[in-house]
Amino acid sequence: MIPTEPIGSIPRPPELVAAIRGGAGPDALAPLLDAAVRATIAAFEASGSPVISDGEQGKLDNFWCYPVHGCANTAPDGFHIPLPVGAGGRQHRMPRLTHGPFGYARHADGFLRAAQRHATRPLKQAVISPSALSLMYPPEGLPGYPREQFLEDLVREHETEIRRCLEAGAHKVQVDFAEGPLAMRLDPSGALLASFVHLNNMALGRFSDAERALIGLHVSPAGVGGGDVDYADLLPTLFEIRAGSFYIAMAGQPDPERVLRIARDYARPGQRVFVGVTDPRDARVESAQQVRDRVLLASRYLEPGRLGTTDDAGFAPFFDDDSLSRATAFAKVRARVEGTRLAAALLQGAA
């Protein structure tokens, strides 16, 4: 009655983290990556999750830059991603495009196909938004490769990636719109955010209504550069993006009912809203009863036919630190699944 899905990232196993930090090569990493995916899938399935993911185990750099990691026409001194310094004092920068044409080095269906070897449940796949990757293009431009051509190539690659994931059998493709809070921070007028929305809609406009029903959009409340941005202020613009599902944070918000009112008022007909019922920024594990009560609160604003549950964000999106363990992440997943089931039973009984 109420679907529940993860957002994406799960902390990687310590042995894989150690190998990555130690600079292990592809041959040494391959068996560790396969083992991490297999273990993550097994833990997701053991939690009772009806929809699972690979926990983004294979996105070795981060969830933002994986399509262009290692591209020959990039330099490492691109846009500075304003995040806390990562493990080992690491700063986060995007690659800078040095010349055209733009193209992906890899598409996310490769991660999906690797996970399918181990999974028996439906798999969703997260991909990065074209607006995030648009920040690769240098402000001064590139000789012989105008920004307009870059954006056309970028949108084509994003469309190709989503189609490849759908053709591979993805239950849902989730577009990560992490740069939403950053846009508001850089330009409080909202013009930059509007341009990002337009670019994402250029890509989504290439899909049919039936295909867009299988495409969702997520923006984290702790999004890039979003420390002093009111998350709820993003939501009205967020719902202008032509996706079929939206994954929004609620559990960690100071005023959850404000978030729910905005979702009720701005979500368009046919858009399903997955509300966050666990908070990855809080190491305390929610009880199933807490989750149940959050779902019941959400049902006062969103009818069950338009409601789903999720986590507020991924559990390890950018770098491998040990602030949250795999065990804690999966305990929160189990609470989400069980609490959603309890709430659905109550709502079904009331209906």
* pLDDT value for 187: 87
Q: Could you identify the residue written with the tokens 């080992």?
A: 88
pLDDT on residue 89: 47
Exposed/middle/buried for residue 46 (C-beta within 10 Å: 0-12, 13-18, 19+): exposed
| CA neighbor of 299 nearest in space, from 275, 325, 318, 281 | 275
84, burial (CB in 10 Å: exposed 0-12, middle 13-18, buried 19+): exposed
Q: What is the pLDDT of residue 148?
A: 97
Query: Which pLDDT score, from 0 to 100, does residue 319 have?
Result: 65
pLDDT < 50 positions in the chain? 87-89, 225-226
CB 138 within 8 A of CB 96: yes
- Residues 97-110: b if buried by 16+ CB within 10 A, e if exposed: beebebebebbbbe
Token pair recorded at residue 82: 């304003």
Query: Cis omega (within 30 of 0) on the bond before 101?
Result: yes
On whether the CB atoms of residues 180 and 197 are closer than 8 A, the answer is: no
Question: CA triplet 44, 46, 51: central angle to 5 degrees?
Answer: 45
Paired residues of 174 in beta bridges: 126, 216
Task: Tell me what the pLDDT averaged over the chain comes to.
Answer: 92
Please tell me whether residue 339 adopts helix, strand or coil conformation: helix
Amino acid at 269: P
C-alpha to C-alpha distances, 13 to 20, 34, 82, 99, 159, nearest whole angstrom: 11, 11, 26, 37, 32
Is residue 217 classed as helix, strand or coil in its secondary structure?
strand
Evaluate whether 277 touches 296 at the Cβ level (below 8 Å).
no
pLDDT for position 324: 87
| Residue 196, pLDDT score | 96
Q: What is the DSSP letter of 304?
A: G
Return the bridge partners of 74, or none. 97
Residue 36's pLDDT is 97
Beta strands 172-176 and 96-97 are unpaired
Chain center to CA of 83: 16
Where do the H-state alpha helices sit in the chain? 14-21, 26-46, 109-116, 130-133, 147-167, 180-186, 191-204, 209-212, 231-238, 256-266, 288-299, 326-350
DSSP designation for 124: E
Both tokens assigned to 98: 């040095």
Output the pTM of the full model.
0.94
**Residue with token string 């950018």:** 318
